[in-house]
A and B are shown apart, each in its own frame.
Chain A
Amino acid sequence: MKDFIIPQFPPGDDRDMGTKIGTGAPVSLVIDGIAVTVPAGTSVMRAAAEAGVDVPKLCASDNIEAFGSCRLCVVQIDGRRGTPASCTTPVAEGMVVHTQSEKLRKLRRGVMELYISDHPLDCLTCSANGDCELQDAAGAVGLRDVRYEAPVGGRLDNHFARRNGAEVNALYIPKDDSNPYFSYDPAKCIVCSRCVRACEEVQGTFALTIEGRGFDSRVSAGAIGDDFLTSDCVSCGACVQACPTATLQEKSVIELGTPQRSIITTCAYCGVGCSFKAELNGDQLVRMVPYKHGKANRGHSCVKGRFAYGYAKHKDRILNPMIRNSIDEPWREVGWDEAMAFAASRIATFRSIMAASPSASSPPAAAPMRKPIWCRN
């Protein structure tokens, strides 16, 4: 497993910066005329993001290693040949980078035209409508037309149509709904490998792979005959979060629609205290997304916080603080101020009792240290 990447962000910035930031000595470069200084080892893409310049991307995400497969993030660098991918190109002192040019626009449109030629055009009814990086990237590169079509009497090979011409499309793989929390729809997959890499690098479960090769490459959850449920998947949801399209999608989003607002909250399960973005429509909770600025979890979580949030609307859920003076009394619902004051006074009382006790002068026997427990409840 690769080293767990701890993303660093400007406070409050939820953007995906593309790649991690380097750790070396400061390096200064110019991107689209903007001077920026970043640590050595940082990618050109990240440096651009730091400078406020968004380079179109699909396979890069700042919690996994740069991969260099989507070829949308190409840039031009003065004095260097070709159009290197900005995600896998490290910054160098004095580098002059251009993220926009006619050549780059044409290249990005060409790549996007290929992507869309193997993607269903069902955006309006798609569960990721409005929350789809592929859709955003197509807009950002200005794709206006897909010119690829089948030769007369022939086929346009694709993974999204059940039938191709008169025949059953052998490349079409039906949706895998075996996992209770999310579905996998290969018809929408752009094979960016973000899910596979998230499973390896973020979660460390190695439940996913790309099977086959070339145009036949597909995300797979194991050996022949396996689906997501029988695979090694632990339903942490890192792959779903990593997916830029509706290929891996929470079933709640499919059912309830794209969430419109969000609240940062803390997971109600174990003591780790993972931060979540609770995404809602009105007061309807649609999904819980691990919050990337959460100090305890940095954008990742376990299955419970991610998917088992049914407690949120449960009638027994405790919504307000409760206190009682002794164990034989019933709980009493109070306001936060009263609850805090109560707790503080009890602690103070306890402290004074302890200070007065004879054993306080000698150091207490070392208590056996409890092993830290990772989300055991």
Chain B
Amino acid sequence: MKIYVPMDSAAKALGADEVARAILQHAGARGLDVQMIRNGSYGMIWLEPLVEVDLGQGQGRQAYGPVTPADVPALLEGKLQSLGPVQEIPFLAGQTRLTFARCGVIDPLDLDDYEAHGGLVGVKRAIAMGARDILQEVVDSGLRGRGGAGFPTGIKWKTVADADAAQKYIVCNADEGDSGTFADRMIIEGDPFSLIEGMAIAGIGVGATRGYVYLRSEYPDAIRVLTDAVDIARARGLLGPNVLGSPHAFDIEVRTGAGAYVCGEETALLNSLEGKRGTVRAKPPLPALEGFMGKPTVVNNVISLATIPVIFEKGAGHYADFGLGRSRGTVTLQIAGNIKHGGLYETAFGVTLGQVVNEIGGGTASGRPVKAVQVGGPLGAYMPVEKFDTPIGYEEFDQQGGLIGHAGLVVFDDTADMLHMARFAMEFCAVESCGKCTPCRIGAVRGVETIDRIAQGDTAAIELLTDLCDTMRDGSLCALGGFTPYPVMSALTHFPDDFATQKEAAE
């Protein structure tokens, strides 16, 4: 029998390795013929470690979870209560899985398995199309950068393609530092070849022969998996001087970050990749024209690049048919925080925030009422329950004073103290500021102090905090200082009671 135990780091952090060891141990003791496959995660984190058993009798893979080592004897005896086939679990059944279609299904480091599930179709088609058509296909797909800014990917590629330079680069931004986000990590750990294939297509499209993945040091498992995957891809000719036998050369190097959130900002990332301090560069020049080593560079998020293969596999039209308004295709929501059914949920743009939190996520883990949802990471606004009818879309969230960012949602129950969360937003900005521009460097520290004054009942400090947020928003060089006012001001605006408690107590 085949047994699938995820090697996704969330599954491992919940005991997957112990379960895998127990399975091999018990199976050995019983003389069972077990083939163990360490797959990726399907993203139903509350069910992790989610183990699948395929008895090879035509019933397919039956899911169990969460499994503990103590459950293993029962699992092997067929006495453990099954969740049924994994695709029938409502959380997964309700999704539109394009980018994450293979994640959980395949062995992440088995290129044949990857190919058997639609992999490499895209890059082969791209090779046959030629550069101009590749660029047009990406434009037609309507894909926008999934890192947060939502810039049209095809336009960015065209800019790089049109730039005249002897060397161009594809840089994958895998510095996924936003709290509440883990899609990059999951796809790298669960389907790394999709990223490699996407980068290869990008390379062929814009005429770049070298690619870098800047992966944060907080993700050691992802670094290992991707490094192995790159080695395999090179050995099998997906990377190298002739990508899949074509005249196109493309290779990838995995680079590790060093503990700097700001390096998720593309120009800081490029500085860091060049071996410099990870400070933000003023734009212009755009990285597309003067990026890594001053050469034209595509900087794309992991999910943007990992979505490229399915666009080329199924066609731009297929992808663009999903979505809402100018937000085309699917969004890989990461439902996190105090949530009953947390995990990765890929769906077409347009689902509302309330549906995600209450229906898909099943409300809070604590069972208490939802107070706020921070959407888009530490620089995203705290959305109150009154805004739950906002559809997930770039423009839709913008109109509501928020941003979807990398599409992470962190749910808080009614015990959350929003003044404390506003203070943390400033504190985080102070810890992670690169220190280049004044509004962020000094402003974040002053923000913490000013919120402390508000907590002490100093009403004048509220006006000062508002002015400070204006200064940071309009004056900062990058989104770190520029967007920190989102969580701060949304907390202040939507939860004024939390900012008045101390004062009332004092009176």
Q: Are B474 and A213 in contact, CB atoms less than 8 angstroms apart?
A: no
Output the least CB separation between A150 and chain B (Å).
Answer: 7
Closest chain B residue, CB of each to CB of A68: B282
B464 within 8 A of A: yes
Within 8 Å of chain B (Cβ to Cβ): is A83?
yes
User: Which B-chain residue is minimally distant from A156 (CB atoms)?
Assistant: B449
Interface residue? A54 (CB, 8 A): no
Does B311 lie at the interface of the complex (its beta carbon under 8 Å from any beta carbon of A)? no
Residues in chain B near residue A225, CB distance under 8 A: none
Cross-interface CB contact of B441 among A74, A110, A215, cutoff 8 Å: A215
Q: Are B445 and A74 in contact (CB under 8 A)?
A: no
Interface residues of B in 193-242 (CB under 8 A from A): none
Nearest B residue to A87 via CB reads: B282
Task: Assess whether B365 is interfacial by the CB under 8 Å rule.
Answer: no
Shortest distance in angstroms between A376's beta carbon and chain B's nearest beta carbon? 35
> Does A354 have its Cβ within 8 Å of any Cβ on chain B?
no
B454 to chain A: closest residue by CB: A151
Assess A107 versus B453: contact at CB under 8 Å? Given A69-B477, A71-B438, A117-B442: no
Q: Which residues of B contact A67 (CB under 8 A)?
A: 282
Mostly helix, strand, loop or mixed at chain B's interface?
Answer: helix
Q: Is the CB of A217 within 8 A of B475?
A: no
B433 interface residue per 8 A CB criterion = yes
Interface centre among B432, B436, B456 (most CB of A within 10 A): B436
Contacts A67-B282, A85-B282, A150-B449 given; indicate if A217 touches B441 (C-beta within 8 A). yes
Question: Once the chains bind, are B474 and A82 in contact (CB under 8 Å)?
Answer: yes
A32 sits at the interface (CB 8 A)? no
A95 within 8 A of partner (CB): no
Cβ–Cβ < 8 Å partners of B282 in chain A: 66-68, 85, 88
**Inter-chain contact B446/A217, CB cutoff 8 Å:** no
Q: Which of B262, B277, B433, B475 contacts A71 (CB 8 A)?
A: B475
Q: Are B442 and A115 in contact (CB under 8 A)?
A: yes
B431 contacts chain A at the CB level, 8 A cutoff: yes
Asked if B449 and A154 make an inter-chain contact with CB atoms under 8 angstroms apart, the answer reads: yes
Closest residue to A209 on the B side, CB-wise? B277
Most buried by A among B432, B439, B471: B471
Q: Does A166 contact B (CB under 8 A)?
A: no
Task: Give the Cβ gap from B290 to chain A, nearest Cβ, in Å.
Answer: 13
| A63-94 vs B, Cβ < 8 Å mask (1 yes, 0 no) | 00011111100100000001101001110000
**Complexed CA–CA distance, A67 and B453 (Å):** 34
| Partner pick for A213 among B433, B450, B475, CB 8 A cutoff | B433
Q: Which among B435, B458, B467, B476 is the interface contact of A214 at CB below 8 angstroms?
A: B435
- Which B residues lie within 8 Å of A71 (CB)? 437-439, 475-477
Report the Cα distance A253→B445, complex, angstroms: 33
Smallest beta-carbon distance B59→chain A, Å: 56
Asked if A107 and B470 make an inter-chain contact with CB atoms under 8 angstroms apart, the answer reads yes
Which residues from B are CB-within-8-Å of A149? 449, 453
Give Cα A71–Cα B456 distance, bound, in whole angstroms: 31
Is B444 within 8 A of A215, CB to CB?
yes
Tell me the interface secondary structure of chain A in the complex: loop
Cβ-based interface call for B284 (8 A): yes
B7 within 8 A of A: no
User: How near does chain A come to B473, taking the closest CB pair, in angstroms?
Assistant: 9
B452 with A191: CB separation less than 8 A: no
Near A by CB (< 8 A), chain B positions 450-482 give 450, 452-453, 455-456, 458, 460, 464, 467-468, 470-471, 474-477
Q: Does B257 contact A (CB under 8 A)?
A: no
Q: Is the CB of B471 within 8 A of A111?
A: yes
Do A151 and B432 touch across chains, with their CB atoms under 8 A apart? no
Give Cα A110–Cα B460 distance, bound, in whole angstroms: 16
A271–B437 Cα distance when bound, in Å, is: 42
Known contacts A71-B476, A147-B464, A215-B442; A152 and B437 CB within 8 A of each other: no
Interface size in chain B (residues, C-beta < 8 A): 42
Which of B262, B437, B450 is A69 in contact with, Cβ under 8 Å?
B437
Given A85-B282, A115-B438: A151 and B474 interface contact (C-beta under 8 Å): no
Q: Within 8 Å CB of A15, what residues of B?
A: none
Q: Does A279 contact B (CB under 8 A)?
A: no
B283, B446, B455, B458: the one contacting A114 at CB < 8 Å is: B446
In the complex, the chain B residue whose C-beta lies closest to that of A216 is: B435
B residues less than 8 Å from A210 (CB atoms): 277, 279, 435
In chain A, positions 101-126 with a C-beta closer than 8 Å to chain B are 103, 106-107, 110-111, 113-115, 117-118
A46 to chain B, nearest CB (A): 15
Partner of B435 from the list A66, A111, A156, A213 (CB cut-off 8 Å) is: A213
Is A110's CB under 8 angstroms from B471's CB?
Answer: yes
Is there contact, CB below 8 Å, between B442 and A107?
Answer: no
Give the docked Cα–Cα distance between A214 and B284 (Å): 23
Bound: A113/B464 CA distance, A: 11
For the side of the interface on A, what is the size category?
35 or more
A69-B445 contact, Cβ under 8 Å, with A74-B475, A111-B475: no
Residue of A nearest to B472 (CB): A110
Given the complex, which residues of A lie within 8 Å of B475, measured CB to CB? 71, 74, 83, 107, 110-111
Could you say which residues of chain B place their CB within 8 Å of the CB of A209? 277
A336 within 8 A of B: no
Per-residue CB proximity of B256-282 to A under 8 Å, as 1/0?
000010100000000000000111001
* Contact residue among A82, A85, A151, A157 (Cβ-Cβ distance under 8 Å from B445): A157
User: Is the CB–CB distance between A215 and B435 below 8 Å?
Assistant: yes
What per-residue 1/0 map shows which CB atoms of A201-225 lie under 8 Å from chain B? Answer: 0000000011011111100000000
In this assembly, does A148 line the interface, its C-beta being within 8 Å of a C-beta of chain B?
yes
Distance A120 CA – B260 CA, assembled complex (angstroms) = 30
The residue on B at minimum CB distance from A154 is: B452
Q: Say yes or no: A148 contacts B433, CB within 8 Å.
A: no
Bound form: Cα–Cα A152–B456 in Å:
8
Q: Please report the C-alpha to C-alpha distance between residue A212 and residue B431 in the assembled complex, in whole angstroms.
A: 11
Residue among B455, B468, B474 having the largest count of chain A Cβ atoms under 10 Å = B474
A67 to B467, CA, bound (A): 25
**Does any Cβ of A come within 8 Å of B430's Cβ?**
yes
User: Which residues of A have CB within 8 Å of B262?
Assistant: 213
In the complex, what distance in Å separates the CA atom of A215 from the CA atom of B436?
A: 9
User: Is B435's CB under 8 angstroms from A148's CB?
Assistant: no
B437 — which chain A residues lie within 8 A by C-beta? Answer: 68-71
Contact of B284 with A90 in the complex, beta carbons under 8 Å: yes
Cβ contact within 8 Å between A217 and B456:
no
Kindly state the separation between the CA atoms of A317 and B504 in the bound complex, as whole angstroms. Answer: 77
Flag if A114 contacts B433 (CB, 8 Å): no
Q: Does B108 contact A (CB under 8 A)?
A: no
Bound form: Cα–Cα A156–B447 in Å = 11
B443: interface (CB < 8 Å):
yes
Which chain A residue shows the least CB distance to B482?
Answer: A82
- Given A69-B437, A215-B445, verify A74-B277 contact (CB < 8 Å): no
- Could you list 28 A-B pairs, sorted by A, with CB under 8 Å? A68-B437, A68-B477, A69-B436, A69-B437, A69-B438, A70-B437, A71-B439, A71-B477, A83-B475, A85-B282, A107-B471, A111-B438, A113-B471, A115-B442, A151-B453, A156-B449, A157-B449, A190-B438, A191-B441, A209-B277, A213-B278, A213-B433, A214-B432, A214-B433, A214-B434, A215-B430, A216-B435, A217-B441
List the 7 closest pairs (A to B, CB-CB), nearest first.
A110-B471, A68-B282, A217-B435, A214-B433, A88-B282, A151-B452, A114-B442
> In the complex, given contacts A111-B475, A151-B455, A214-B432, what are 13 additional A-B residue pairs having Cβ atoms less than 8 angstroms apart?
A68-B282, A69-B437, A89-B284, A103-B474, A107-B470, A110-B467, A148-B446, A154-B452, A213-B277, A213-B278, A213-B433, A214-B434, A215-B444
Partner-A contacts on B (CB < 8 A): 260, 262, 277-279, 282-284, 430-446, 449-450, 452-453, 455-456, 458, 460, 464, 467-468, 470-471, 474-477
Q: What residues of chain A have their CB less than 8 Å away from a CB belonging to chain B?
A: 66-71, 74, 82-83, 85, 88-90, 103, 106-107, 110-111, 113-115, 117-118, 147-152, 154-157, 190-191, 193, 209-210, 212-217
